[in-house]
Amino acid sequence: MAHLGDLPVKLVGVWHKTSVEAAREQQTSYKTSFVTGQKRSSSTDDPPPSSQKRRLPQHQQQPIKVLLNEFPRLAASSIEQTKQKEESPSEYSQRRAFPSTPTPTLDPLLSLSNSAYSLPPQLVANFAASGIKSIYPWQKQCLLGPGLLQGDKNLVYSAPTGGGKSLVADILMLKRVLSDREAKALLVLPYIALVQEKVRWLRNIVSGITRESLGQKKEDKQGLWASRADRDTIRVVGFYGGNKVRATWADFDIAVCTIEKANALVNGAITDCTVSKLQSVVLDECHMIDDGNRGYLLELLTTKLLCLGQSIQIVAMSATLTNIDLLKNWLQGHSYETHYRPIPIEEHLVYEGKIYAADTTASLLKTKTVTSLDSRTQAQPTQSGLEPLRIIKPSSHKELKDAVLNAVVALANETARAGFGVLVFSSSRAATESDAVIISRVLPSFLEAPPAIQEKRLDLLNDLRSLATGLDPNLEKTIPSGVAFHHAGLTTEERELVANAYDAGVLKVCVATCSLAAGINLPASRVILHGARMGRDLVGPAMLRQMRGRAGRKGKDEVGETYLCCRQSDLEAVVDLMHADLPEISSCLISDQRRTQRALLETITIKLATSREALDDFVSKTMLAYSTEAEPGSIQKHVEASLENLESMQFITVDDGSTFQATLLGSAVVASSLDPDDGIFIHNELRTALKAFVMDGDMHQLDESGMRVLDLIGLKPFMINKMLHSGALKQSTPEEKDTARRYYRFYLALQLRDLCNEIPIHRVAQKYDTPRGMVQTIAQSSQGFALGMVNAMAVALDYFSDRLKAGAKSDLLALARITSIKSRTARVFWDNGFKTVASIANADPKELLPILMQAQPNKVKLGGEKDEEKYMEKLLGKAKVIADSANRLWQIEMQQDLDEE
């Protein structure tokens, strides 16, 4: 079968000249097939203008047909109304009770141009150009909190998804950046897709704004900013794993980062003493602090900022916060909560083809107490007399016999045919694709779409086909009908094209996995949940709210709708889930020993705290210390055990004065943003690799070099072949888990080798039976890991560079920093008891004369008294230079110690 993506260029010109009615006539002229286009003979066909369509490669210029018997259409079930919706005011019908939001005409403080906000006119104009012409009353109240606009107080606030919560943080952050030429700001987001989207948004918002136009003092040509051609512009840079931009503190004004990159940036800024430029930090989706995998990094990052003792405004926000007072107390700032949504949401439960209002589902179940000798008999849920709002008729098609799938398809069809956008959440990648295919079969065919939409869908198909991965066969089936899917198995480029097409209205239905609910910003008139599971597990209340919060497009919808379609086996759990309160967030810092170890190792390495008292002060500023469930004794035990482990792993050392210092290995682990356990593993792997570096090939299809790699790390070729076919290895025991880990790493290395050998991503994905998006993620993660290794190696190389420069062993490096002291002289000082910079700084220069004479015995002149006197005078001058240099270094060390206290 030929494909729509291969449609000849000339057909586009035909559709430009053909009305929808003519297209339908063309459609009905075939009894067994639809012909989306038929190439006319070259003698009668004029080529279209180049502006209408870019020419496809020659191999893609083939006529195609979509045959009915190969892709049969289905009819969606009808939905019948059974009762009228209640019109009483509620959270979901507030716009009916209150038809409008106050405007700047009624309240001047709702205009961003109001002098109370002191925003530059160009910034206000940029907000207006993006659609923000006024703010909501809750945003006004939040912004005008005491000390917030001045940057004097921290803020934590909660607002529903779609309620405009990001704007408050954007304004506070931009005010800090615009108030000082050297000011820096960090905006922390949990997902790469959100970082990329936010970078584009902020660059538009700050476009055309210069510090010079704000009246800030401009340096002369010899000043600090003379080297920058863009010194007056606001630079927005995104930092995330796998991108090619290295986290350089000096090259941005606003850094939009993932959690990991933000943590690395702050570490670097504290180390090189440039963190004083940081004036604003925004923590978006701050409920992620409760995340079992990455949440502790968010807590660690924020605690470091709180320990600095400088004026950094921290703004934390989320749509799913319950115990907001915990964050308020931790950040020592203000808190604000609102439940306002400009587009209210009406929520529904769909069960056995019946649609119920969410606020009535608690009465949907009745529990009968059944006494039985059979222990397997339990209370069973039964339907009450609750009348549904609407009923979805059963389908006559065998493909739609499943009541849940039939409901999903019928609801999606109803909305899409009305011209509105639909977002469907499914439990897995495979489910998103199958749902998208089945929904596309009930929607209007390609020829029934308006000509402009037809062309845009063809453009989308061609854009996807032009990618290195080629056109996904399922997307090829669904896009002509205005349907696509969005999951981690697609590459970043594919997901971006799909998201943009959906946002532009080219696609009417987007089917996504539940796990991407928080990582995409695709609002829809109607959100449909195909079950409430993510894989095999039920989603939590917070994830459910994230998905439902995508309903309602500002400016396009009066009301957003959500429909959760569930099975009988899940009914009781789903009803409980729909009425469940959001769980309270808590610290994850001591839920795993490795997290405490990393927190302490980073704090010691960047010299934020190097004594036990300073470390205890650091721990007292964590959110953990403010949690009521945390016991001080338990926290202290974790700290003690973590410090002992770090010392045993040779990440830190402790001197007689109980001062902690990071070793070279510990510094390298922190520089590469690794957990201590991962750092030990990689260090051991590198030591193994150094025994026999294979440099003569890239394991070319397990040639000689590849076989030597296998032999070196103790792997067997037949097991690699087994993974190619089955992909699963036994992991019952710790030994099997360790073996499987090494095999999986080699399996990933084979994929990376093929990518390096210019094999396209989609070919690699097919070869190793791995989704394309996962292959791309592996490549991006490996690139980010490689950058981390570069940083780790840089620490080691800097260390050896210092040793080479000083010509000394590691114990003499501190002394070798003193002016006029090199390796031999440093050793003589050391042997004579001057082992620290402080000891030399506190010595009288005359005390240093014998040591200098010992270090330079050949230069002592015994010939004449005059020559000897002249030599001793010269040597005393050198001793004074050494003492002065040691004093300066010692004062710097003392100041650092005072800062830590």
DSSP 803-838: HHHHTS-GGGHHHHTSTT--HHHHHHHHHTT--SHH
Give the chain's length. Answer: 901
Distance CA 578, CA 540 (A): 10
Distance CA 886, CA 888 (A): 5
Give 364's pLDDT tier (boundaries 50, 70, 90): low
Tokens of 670: 């922190």
Closest Cα partner for 284 from 412, 361, 197? 197
| Percentage, residues of the chain above pLDDT 70 | 69
User: Smallest Cα–Cα separation from 602: which of 654, 670, 536?
Assistant: 670
Q: Phi/psi at 275 (nearest 5 deg)? A: -70, -15
Q: Which of 205-209, 723-727, 752-756 has the highest mean pLDDT?
A: 205-209
Residue 105: pLDDT band (50, 70, 90) is: confident
* Between 6 and 495, the higher pLDDT residue: 495
Q: Which CATH architecture has domain 593-681?
A: Orthogonal Bundle (1.10)
- Whether 791 has a pLDDT exceeding 70, the answer reads no
For residue 305, give the nearest of 284, 327, 331 by alpha carbon. Answer: 331
Closest CA to 332 of 290, 301, 303: 303
pLDDT tens per residue, range 442-456: 999 888 899 999 999
From 172-186, 678-692, 794-808, the region with the lowest mean pLDDT: 794-808
Helices 734-756 and 772-806, interaxial angle, to 10°? 90
Sorted by sequence, the CB contacts under 8 Å of residue 389 that are 6+ apart come out as 81, 82, 83, 85, 348, 355, 356, 357
Domain-by-domain residue ranges, the chain? 102-217+228-337, 345-443+482-578, 593-681, 694-804, 807-900
736 CB contacts (<8 Å, ≥6 apart)?
729, 730
Alpha helices in 339-450 (DSSP H): 403-417, 429-440
Q: Kindly state the tokens that stand for 131.
A: 């659609």
Q: Is the pLDDT of residue 19 over 70?
A: no
pLDDT at 508 over 60: yes
Task: State the pLDDT at residue 690.
Answer: 53
Write out the CATH class of domain 102-217+228-337.
Answer: alpha beta
In sequence order, the β-bridge partners of residue 566 are: 351
Say what the pLDDT of residue 340 is: 87
* Higher per-residue confidence, 662 vs 363: 662
Condensed to tens digits (0 to 9), the pLDDT of residues 841-884 reads 888 888 888 888 877 665 544 455 666 777 788 888 888 888 88
In the three-class reduction of DSSP (H, G, I as helix; E, B as strand; rest coil), residue 114 is classed as: coil
pLDDT for 177 equals 94
pLDDT digit string, tens, across residues 28-39: 333 333 333 333
As a whole number of angstroms, the distance between CA 823 and CA 827 comes to 6
Distance from the Cα of residue 564 to its chain's centroid:
27
Higher pLDDT, 166 or 523: 166
Confidence at residue 413, expressed as pLDDT on a 0 to 100 scale: 95
597-653: per-residue pLDDT in tens?
Answer: 999 999 999 999 999 999 999 999 999 999 876 677 788 888 999 999 999 999 999
Pick the residue with more confidence: 643 or 21?
643
pLDDT band at 337 (very low <50, low <70, confident <90, very high): very high
Q: Does domain 345-443+482-578 have CATH number 3.40.50.300?
A: yes
CA dist 844 to 830, 852, 883, 884, Å? 17, 13, 8, 10
Between residues 755 and 271, the one the model is more confident about: 271
pLDDT attached to residue 739: 64
Helix 823-831 × helix 845-855 angle, to 10° = 120
- DSSP-assigned letter for residue 767: H
SS (H, E, C) 779-802: HHHHHHHHHHHHHHHHHHHHHHHH
Residue 296 has pLDDT above 80, yes or no: yes
Per-residue pLDDT at 14 exceeds 70: no
Q: Where are the alpha helices (DSSP H) in 606-733?
A: 612-620, 623-626, 632-648, 664-671, 676-690, 704-713, 717-725
Q: Residue 622's pLDDT is what? A: 94
Tell me, what's the pLDDT at 470?
Answer: 82
| C-alpha to C-alpha distance for 564 and 200, rounded to whole angstroms | 33
Rounded distance between C-alpha atoms, residue 571 and residue 539, angstroms: 14
Ranking 361-370, 381-390, 538-547, 732-741 by mean pLDDT, the lowest is 361-370
For 33, left (φ over 0), alpha (ψ -120 to 50), or beta?
beta
**What per-residue confidence (pLDDT) applies to 148?**
95
- DSSP class of residue 839 equals H
pLDDT per residue over 573-582, tens digit each?
888 888 888 8
Looking at per-residue confidence, does 587 or 516 come out higher? 587
pTM flag (> 0.85) = no
Taking residue 577's Cβ as centre, other Cβ atoms within 10 Å add up to 18
Residue 390 φ then ψ, to 5° = -145, 165
Position 866 scores a pLDDT of 64
Residue 357 pLDDT grade (very low, low, confident, very high; cuts 50, 70, 90): confident
Q: Is residue 44 predicted with pLDDT exceeding 70?
A: no
The least confident of 372-376, 429-433, 647-651, 854-858 is 372-376
Mean pLDDT of 814-823: 76
Which of 81-95, 276-290, 547-561, 572-586 is the least confident region? 81-95
Q: Are 588 and 292 in contact (CB under 8 A)?
A: yes
Least confident of 238-242, 404-408, 567-571: 238-242
Q: CB atoms < 10 A from the CB of 462, how many?
A: 19
Q: State how far the alpha carbon of 267 is from the alpha carbons of 276, 667, 873, in Å.
A: 13, 11, 46
Q: Pinpoint the alpha helices (H) of 338-472.
A: 403-417, 429-440, 451-465
The alpha-carbon radius of gyration of the chain (Å, integer) is 33
What are the backbone dihedrals phi and psi of residue 529, each rounded to the nearest 5 degrees, phi first? -105, 115
Confidence of residue 22 (pLDDT cuts 50, 70, 90): very low
The answer, yes or no, to whether residue 557 has pLDDT greater than 50, is: yes
What is the C-alpha to C-alpha distance for residues 671 and 669, in angstroms, rounded to an integer? 5
Q: State the Cα–Cα distance between residues 578 and 538, nearest whole angstrom.
A: 12
Of the two residues 91 and 637, the one the predictor is more confident about is 637
The yes-or-no verdict on residue 263 having pLDDT over 50 is: yes
Does residue 257 register a pLDDT over 80? yes
* Distance, CA of 258 to CA of 237 (rounded, Å): 12
Q: Which of 219-223, 431-435, 745-749, 879-883 has the highest mean predicted lDDT (pLDDT)?
A: 431-435
The mean per-residue pLDDT over the stretch 687-693 comes to 55
pLDDT score for 603:
94
φ, ψ dihedrals at 154, nearest 5°: -80, 165
Q: Kindly report the backbone phi and psi dihedral angles of residue 404, in degrees, each rounded to the nearest multiple of 5, phi listed first.
A: -70, -50
**Fold: same for 345-443+482-578 and 593-681:** no
pLDDT at 225: 39
- Choice among 182-186, 218-222, 324-328, 538-542 with the minimum mean pLDDT: 218-222
* Tokens found for residue 656: 């007689």
Q: Are 818 and 889 in contact (CB under 8 A)?
A: yes
Q: Say if strands 422-426 and 509-513 run parallel, antiparallel, or are unpaired.
A: parallel
Q: Residue 656: what pLDDT?
A: 75
In this predicted structure, the answer to whether residue 55 has a pLDDT above a threshold of 50 is no
34 and 24 in contact (C-beta within 8 Å)?
no
Average pLDDT of span 44-70: 39
Q: What is the pLDDT of residue 709?
A: 53
- Residue 742 is predicted with a pLDDT of 66
Contact 795, 453 (CB under 8 A): no
**What DSSP assignment string belongs to 312-326?**
-EEEEEESS-S-HHH
Tokens describing residue 459: 């453009």
